[in-house]
Structure 1
Amino acid sequence: MNGALHDAMDAAVDDAANDAVDDVVNDAVDDAVIVGAGPTGLTLACDLALRGLTPRVLDRREAPHRESRGKTLRPGALEVFERLGVADRITAVGRSHQVLRKYFDGAHAADTPVEGLCLIGQWQVEEALRERLAELGVRVEFGAEVTGIGQDADGVSTTLADGRSLRSGYLAGCDGGRSTMRKLLGIPFEGHGGGEQSMVVGDVRAPGLSREYWHQWFTSDGGAMLLCPIPGTDSFQLQASPEADAEGRPLPPSLEGFQRLFDRHARMPGIRLADATWLSTWRANVRMAGRIREGRTFLAGDAAHVHPIAGGFGMNTGIEDAAALGRALGGETSLEAYEADRLPAAAHLLAHTSARMERVVAAVATPGTGVEAGLD
């Protein structure tokens, strides 16, 4: 055999081998595709990886965010994190003791210590979970937008915006209150809300303002502003009643607007807010999915339910959803048990947090009372 022919045959064999490897990669089946890399999706991914399963985590964002968002972890969520091996790094950053300093019409009214909850920014929770997940051999795929879902008796096919098609045994939609997965599955989001904005929120610095307190200003006309120090940073999470324009329409959040609201409520002329790294609005929504399982696909966290913020249950409930779904997908419980357990829990959560929110709104009209009215 001449050299040229021999080289050509070797090249053909190599190409065939490479094609075979490509076929194996393209046909590979993950145990679960998880859409959404917030606390819910990351908790589920860590849980499945610890069970020896192969999760694949997708997020449409191009990179992780650094927004405080949900900022309270309750004991139940910390118990889940303990089992996942991530609790210590979270509690090392978070703060378990917090003093709520309440003001009324600009005057200091009362200080209330709060124990038993871990105050920490949501981005910090997500960072710790991503680190743990990487230790387990799994990394989040950012910039991965899901555009289609198909399923059969053997698994789920997930189509991405870049044209890829992934195959998995199961799919979990953990992609938030505006869940694309819920919409693709045609699952109704039943309830009420979504009208006028109820609050402007953001992350800001407030040089000169003590970070030893969660500052809460309330006024006799029903207005409110809260500045909560996020541990491990020099920023505060701001929550406030929205501004309105001349026609009574709510104005979008801005640093300038935050300063006007601060001046109106806090009445501390020496404090100037700075570096608004997150600007958003919060609207009162009380909704839950009509079902949280559709064959081999599931919903968890805000994709399955949204509710009032009183009591700080949002991030925690998503984490507990993820733990329950991990037990089901890991074979510890049945798949049916997930919906049977978590759907009634969601219904209870909506009623419970709505009642807490009403209690807080009524309570803060009394000088010296703050959001602790919804924490007990």
Structure 2
Amino acid sequence: MSEPRNAGAGATTVLVVGAGPTGLTLAVELARSGVPFRLIDAEPGPRPGSRGKGVQPRTLEIFEDLGIAGRVLANGRQAMPMNSTAPDGRVTRGGAIPESLANRPDIPYAASLITPQWRVEEALRLRLEELGGFVEFGTTLVGFTQTGDGVTAEVVTDGTATTVAARWLVGADGGHSVVRKQTGVAFDGETREDVRMVLADLPVSGLGRDAWETWRHPAGILSLCPLPSTGLFQYAATLAPGAKARLGLADLQATLEDRTGRTDIRLREPEWTSVWRANIRLAEHYRTGNAFLAGDAAHIHSPAGGQGMNTGIQDAHNLAWKFAAVVNDGAPLALLDSYEAERRPVAAHVLALSNTRLARTIETNAVPIDRDASTIQLDVGYRGSALARDDRDERATLRAGDRAPDATGLATVDGVHRLFDLIGRGQFTLLDFGSTTTLPRTAARVLHVVAQPAAEGEIADPAGHLAAAYGPSGRTLVLIRPDGYIGLISDAGNFRAVTDYLAAFG
């Protein structure tokens, strides 16, 4: 756990730099696993602003595992309707959940959630405090040196420099990451000064809060998105190339009236403003010795598709259980190499998707308003990873490396549960679909699928949702990683493969 041990100079296991969504997720996971850490942030306190306001379904699954999904959902809205008004006044409506994703037992969250980013950070901080940890605000990383055994970092708090010795350092410190710059890792990509946007959080009168409204105009796009759990809207307006960004209330109002043709919508003094530039980049490496990069320090995205914050949170979820496996369970240090191998291709894919959607927005002067499976990140997986092993036919729909699907209506001696109620929480879980013998002792939680549960660790699947999701043979074993991905599938019921996997990675 994050020591008041994390309240001062000295040694720790993981020094996390940056307390945005990525760093907070990592800290919560480490605290839950009992891995000592310190979480520092140069800002004097929590940052304001809605910023990344879209939480994707895969991230909501992670938040459920962390114990904060209810908190986040209570302060947001799923499947918010989206209206796009053309210059001739025609309105296109969208935002509905695709039929292919609705009411599926394998998908608990079928739509993204709109909530201000500060609400996400608030929920993570509260969870961190419940686990005994906290953020050291006003603490800046000045520099660090590495040896084979760890990192020695110099940090400054209130003008006082101290030294922190850590086994590993994680830079979750944003696009201008000190950690990345000091390691010398290339951050390839482009900054497009011709693609900019004014953002503001402000009160609005004369407009309902039932939908996210966008207006298309020859001068650019303007949108007003109601921010749930607040009395504010997020205002967003594209800037013409070379135009000066004007953030005053009168300028925001004038742009609104010009692009909507409406004078009945009145803006009030903004509580937060910013100018976004299309800065789209990917770090060449995610690991340099004992220093790691995560979130915006490793990849910066276009906001088209709402992927950046979510990708960073999932970086942290991937890395944290691997730290815990090495520290707590004696897993080999080589396990940490799989972080870059698994997560960097995901960021490259997301960047390509974001670029495509951004190019479409620029070309058509229209924001996409339809949701699809490509943006909700449920298809993210690690097939081909060193941590993905199976003897299943390559044509199978579900294979090792894929996200473990949920299943509802599972009967246990303690009542009816979803599969997601029974897995995760920092542990491996083994689904045994057909063994009639006693499994070897493993480090995993074992769930035996039976006709009628009679003891702890037995589950029944009366509705057939588990069987439909996993397609088992009579002897199938499915090992689910702590981060909710399938590590191993054996349709041959190969117990030895399971024990070997856990010995190597658990």
Question: What TM-score bracket applies, with the shorter chain setting the length?
Answer: 0.7 to 0.9
Is 1:77 aligned to residue 59 of structure 2?
yes
State the shift of 1:194 in Å. Answer: 4.0
State the shift of 1:343 in Å. Answer: 1.5
Match of 1:98 in 2: 80
Match of 1:166 in 2: 164
Report 1:16-95 matches (<5 A): 28-95=10-77
The AA in structure 1 aligned to 2:27 is A
Deviation digits for residues 21-51 of structure 1, max 9, x if unmatched?
xxxx977421211110100000000011111
- SS for the counterpart of 2:189 is strand
Answer yes or no: is the 8 Å Cα contact 2:15–2:168 preserved in 1. yes
Match of 1:352 in 2: 353
The AA in structure 2 aligned to 1:344 is P
Answer yes or no: is the 8 Å Cα contact 1:243–1:251 preserved in 2. no
Deviation digits for residues 209-265 of structure 1, max 9, x if unmatched?
11111010002x251101111100011111111267xxx532343322211110111
State the shift of 1:108 in Å. Answer: 4.9
State the shift of 1:361 in Å. Answer: 3.4
Gap change, CA 1:178 and 1:374, over 3 Å in 2: farther
Answer yes or no: is the 8 Å Cα contact 2:17–2:171 preserved in 1. yes
Report 1:1-376 matches (<5 A): 28-105=10-87, 107-115=89-97, 116-161=111-156, 162-219=160-217, 221=218, 223-242=220-239, 248-331=242-325, 334-364=335-365, 370-373=367-370
Gap change, CA 1:101 and 1:120, over 3 Å in 2: same
Q: 1: CA distance between counterparts of 2:117 and 2:125? A: 12
State the shift of 1:65 in Å. Answer: 1.7
Q: 2: CA distance between counterparts of 1:153 and 1:41? A: 24
- SS for the counterpart of 1:371 is coil
More off after superposition, 321-330 vs 223-232 = 321-330
Q: 1: CA distance between counterparts of 2:212 and 2:280? A: 26
The AA in structure 2 aligned to 1:359 is R
Q: 2: CA distance between counterparts of 1:348 and 1:208? A: 40
Q: 1: CA distance between counterparts of 2:214 and 2:322? A: 42
Answer yes or no: is the 8 Å Cα contact 1:359–1:373 preserved in 2. no
Q: 2: CA distance between counterparts of 1:357 and 1:151? A: 39
Gap change, CA 1:229 and 1:96, over 3 Å in 2: same
State the shift of 1:360 in Å. Answer: 3.2
Gap change, CA 1:375 and 1:147, over 3 Å in 2: farther
State the shift of 1:280 in Å. Answer: 1.0
Answer yes or no: is the 8 Å Cα contact 2:202–2:268 preserved in 1. yes
Answer yes or no: is the 8 Å Cα contact 1:360–1:373 preserved in 2. no
Gap change, CA 1:128 and 1:166, over 3 Å in 2: same
Q: 1: CA distance between counterparts of 2:244 and 2:189? A: 23
More off after superposition, 58-67 vs 106-115 = 106-115
State the shift of 1:203 in Å. Answer: 0.8
State the shift of 1:349 in Å. Answer: 1.6
Q: 2: CA distance between counterparts of 1:352 and 1:101? A: 22
State the shift of 1:197 in Å. Answer: 4.6
- SS for the counterpart of 1:200 is strand
The AA in structure 1 aligned to 2:167 is G
Q: 1: CA distance between counterparts of 2:117 and 2:215? A: 23
Q: 2: CA distance between counterparts of 1:360 and 1:327? A: 38
The AA in structure 2 aligned to 1:261 is T
Answer yes or no: is the 8 Å Cα contact 1:106–1:266 preserved in 2. no
- SS for the counterpart of 2:254 is helix
The AA in structure 1 aligned to 2:183 is L
State the shift of 1:374 in Å. Answer: 7.1
Answer yes or no: is the 8 Å Cα contact 1:360–1:374 preserved in 2. no
The AA in structure 1 aligned to 2:262 is M
State the shift of 1:364 in Å. Answer: 4.5
Gap change, CA 1:249 and 1:240, over 3 Å in 2: closer
Coordinate RMSD, CA, aligned: 1.9
Q: 1: CA distance between counterparts of 2:249 and 2:325? A: 49
The AA in structure 1 aligned to 2:116 is G
State the shift of 1:270 in Å. Answer: 2.1
Q: Provide the identity percentage.
A: 39
Answer yes or no: is the 8 Å Cα contact 1:67–1:203 preserved in 2. yes
Q: 2: CA distance between counterparts of 1:210 and 1:40? A: 33
Gap change, CA 1:120 and 1:327, over 3 Å in 2: same
Q: 2: CA distance between counterparts of 1:194 and 1:374? A: 26
- SS for the counterpart of 2:359 is helix
Q: 1: CA distance between counterparts of 2:369 and 2:201? A: 21
Answer yes or no: is the 8 Å Cα contact 2:304–2:354 preserved in 1. yes
Q: 2: CA distance between counterparts of 1:254 and 1:375? A: 36
More off after superposition, 75-84 vs 39-48 = 75-84
Choose between structure 1 and 2 for higher RCO, CA contacts under 8 A separated by at least 6 residues.
1
Deviation digits for residues 298-344 of structure 1, max 9, x if unmatched?
00001001121111001110011001111221227711000111112
Q: What 5-or-longer segments of structure 1 have no aligned partner? A: 1-24
Answer yes or no: is the 8 Å Cα contact 2:220–2:240 preserved in 1. no
Q: 2: CA distance between counterparts of 1:107 and 1:204? A: 25
More off after superposition, 254-263 vs 296-305 = 254-263
The AA in structure 1 aligned to 2:305 is G
The AA in structure 1 aligned to 2:236 is Q
- SS for the counterpart of 1:275 is coil
Q: 1: CA distance between counterparts of 2:372 and 2:214? A: 15
The number of equivalent residue pairs is: 344
Structure 1 residue runs of 4+, over 6 Å off? none
Gap change, CA 1:355 and 1:373, over 3 Å in 2: farther
